Amino acid sequence: MKIAIIGSGNVGSALGKGWLNAGHEVVFGVRDPQSPKTQKVLALIPEAKLNTVADASINAVVIVITTPPEAVLDLIPQLGNVSNKVIIDTTNSIRTKPAPYATAYDAIKEISKAQDLVKCFNSTGFENMLNPNYHGEGIDMFAAGNSKKAKQVAGQLAKDIGFATCYDFGGDDKVELLEKFALSWINMAIMQRHGRNLAFKLVRR
């Protein structure tokens, strides 16, 4: 699959490394090839392909947003025509948000008119995206949004990098709840000081 990852920081580089290893075609859309975060992706993935946001997006089937949430206001016009593309929004509007929108998801949906948009890869730390394996088992991922197609694509991409299951977390009305779920991980890992090597897994009986 042709994937454009917008942003090359913690999340972008972790997902990019996994998808490249899984055989996907990945291009990073960056604003400054010399920035420390661009250099970080090159340290992790020496063969990483870098381009402008517009050129990375133009041939992509899937566009993955891994920037601060407020950056989407800048980015949306650079993504071009997204009517046939799946957009995966990994952002969490916890410290900042793309005002007047509550989330980047809402901003993308309204401004770009994207049909196949999904919130995913936001609910755990980037270390867990680099390595979702705990004691021989994959942890779980969660996806929210109204597009079945986007959820199916995100779910496959989650499995491709080692997540066990990507659960359907609900529709557009559950996007903010999925960001709160991410905040729950941040609370446990950082505020309650349990450390970032922890993850959520759904168990059943």
- Contacting residues toward ligand NAP, per CB under 6 A: 7-12, 31-32, 35, 37-38, 53, 66-69, 71, 74-75, 90-92, 122, 125-126, 182
- Which CB, 63 or 205, lies closer to ligand NAP? 63
- Which CB, 161 or 205, lies closer to ligand NAP? 161
Chain position whose Cβ is nearest to ligand NAP: 9
Q: How far is the CB of 198 from ligand NAP (least distance, A)?
A: 12
- Which CB, 67 or 112, lies closer to ligand NAP? 67
Q: What is the spatial distance between Cα 172 and Cα 129, in angstroms, rounded to a whole number?
A: 23
Q: How far is the CB of 148 from ligand NAP (least distance, A)?
A: 23
Q: What is the spatial distance between Cα 77 and Cα 9, in angstroms, rounded to a whole number?
A: 21
- Which CB, 11 or 62, lies closer to ligand NAP? 11
Sheet holding 141-144, edge to edge: 49-51, 25-29, 2-6, 62-65, 86-89, 116-119, 141-144, 166-170
Q: What is the spatial distance between Cα 13 and Cα 6, in angstroms, rounded to a whole number?
A: 10
Q: How far is the CB of 17 from ligand NAP (least distance, A)?
A: 13
